[in-house]
Amino acid sequence: MRFNDSIALITGAGSGIGKATAVRLANEGAKVILVGRTRSKLEAVASEINETKKIPMAEVFTADVKDPGDIQEMADYVKEQFGDLHVIINNAGGSANGKILEASEEIWDHAHDLNLKSVFLICQKLGRIMVEGAERDQGSQNRSIVNVASLSGYKAGAQFVPYSTSKAGVISFTKALALELAPHGIRANSVSPGFVETPLTEGGLQNEKFKQLVEKKTALGRVAKPEEIANIIAFLASEEASYMTGTDALCDGGWYIK
């Protein structure tokens, strides 16, 4: 299995892409740390993972990724409890509507704190643990960071400026991160999903006209399942992608090309 003896931390792990990724990594041998704000959701995912394992493979850590104090506590927890970290999946995020001439500073700050600043802080605080581990094992173990961006980082919508700019920032930040961590043998890539069946899109996709519009604009003619994005994240995180770093994987069903 691709993630035997690996410790992986996944944010936004209570549902959607985060949950699907956590299940996938755990099924491939990783010890997964599930991070999110709602303990009940995380515990439900952990139970789903652990009930099929002889040895529990999932643990829960509640945190708000917008809170620097929570991120520092999370880094301290990982270092004290595990002493190492091999994979980070920065999946937590959320939408934010607004035009440039109308959006409030509060909406702008919320989008960038949640979608971009959190990625920076987690990569900084937990990246140090990964670097220390890489120095100990002299780069013999696979270490990888995957940041979840968005199609919106490529194709900005006039109604979603705070969101689209924050996700474009994730793509750019990941390239800089890859360059900085490459000497330590740690890879960093991002993934940009299009429309996926998640709690974030659930409301819109319940509108039949909106759903039909999405399907019409997507070359493959459908919305993605969370597991399809998790497959791509797992590949990027695995040693199979050992020569990929600083890359964004656009997985939008062909929206951008149509």
Tell me whether residue 163 is one of the annotated catalytic residues.
yes
Model confidence band, residue 156 (pLDDT cutoffs 50, 70, 90): confident
pLDDT in tens, 65-99: 999 999 999 999 999 999 999 999 999 999 888 99
* pLDDT at residue 137, as a whole number: 93
Cβ-Cβ contacts under 8 Å for 28 (sequence gap 6 or more)? 1, 2, 3, 4, 234, 238
Q: How many residues make up the chain in this entry?
A: 258
Burial class of residue 116 in the structure, from the number of CB atoms within 10 Å of its CB (0-12 exposed, 13-18 middle, 19+ buried)? buried
The confidence score (pLDDT) of residue 24 equals 98
Burial class, 208, CB count within 10 angstroms (exposed 0-12 / middle 13-18 / buried 19+): exposed
* Superfamily of structural domain 7-197+226-251: NAD(P)-binding Rossmann-like Domain (3.40.50.720)
Q: Is the pLDDT of residue 146 over 80?
A: yes
Please classify residue 183 by burial: count the beta carbons closer than 10 Å to its beta carbon, then call 0-12 exposed, 13-18 middle and 19+ buried: exposed
**Options 77, 154, 163, 243, the catalytic residue:** 163
Task: Tell me the pTM.
Answer: 0.96
Distance of alpha carbon 78 from alpha carbon 135, whole angstroms: 17
pLDDT at position 193 is 97
- In this structure, the strands spanning 143-148 and 87-90 are parallel
Residue 104, φ and ψ in degrees, nearest 5: -80, 160
Structure tokens at 14: 């209570």
For residue 105, name the pLDDT band (cuts at 50, 70, 90).
very high
Q: Are 7 and 84 contacting, i.e. CB atoms less than 8 angstroms apart?
A: yes
Query: What is the pLDDT averaged over residues 225-245?
Result: 98
Give the mean pLDDT of 30-40: 98
Ordered by start, the domain boundaries in the chain are 7-197+226-251
Percent of the chain with pLDDT over 70: 100
Residues forming beta bridges with residue 8, ordered by sequence position: 32, 87
